[in-house]
Amino acid sequence: MNRIALLAASAAGLAVYAIAPAHAAVLPTDATETVTSCGNSRLQAGLATRVCAEITGTTVEFYGRVGLAGPPSPGGPAPAPRELLTTLSVEVAGAAAPRTQFTSALFTASNLEVRGTADTVPCGSTVRATFGVASYPYAANPVVHEVTVTC
């Protein structure tokens, strides 16, 4: 492929991304396939955090991920374990108030997942989750992820 054709194909691909809304992931699903999507990561309590959704049909389960923000220094000691207080809130737009789950967890150098409950929602529903991580003396700075369930 010559350079002009490659450039044109790249520009067309970027144009498709520019059309999609940035605030909510619209994910086509069927009853047997599980689709996973994650929001942007953010530092909380000095750790990398992210909230993700698994959608199977009209069932949505959100979970938060916590990991090291970067690799430990070579030859340095392993990071000390830290006690975390996590908050995972999930709400269906236009429905009842958000459901919030508080979990205390001990974080070591390995990744940690905090799973919420699975909810069945009507087709076309937008579901939003926030995931916050606090560790003394740091307050939570929640990450957010929204998905729209299509059928």
pTM for this entry: 0.75
- Residue 88 has a pLDDT of 96
- Residue 24 has a pLDDT of 57
What is the token pair recorded at 138? 């740091």
Mean pLDDT by 10 residues, the chain (151 residues): 36 34 49 88 93 94 93 81 95 87 91 92 92 94 94 77
- Residue 31 has a pLDDT of 55
C-alpha to C-alpha distance for 87 and 97, rounded to whole angstroms: 15
DSSP secondary structure of 14-31: HHHHHHS-SS-EEEE--S
- Residue 60 has a pLDDT of 94
Domain ranges of the chain: 23-150
- Residue 100 has a pLDDT of 95
- Residue 22 has a pLDDT of 42
Q: Which CATH code is given to the segment(s) 23-150?
A: 2.60.40.10
Please name which of 135, 142, 144 lies closest in space to residue 46, comparing C-alpha atoms: 135
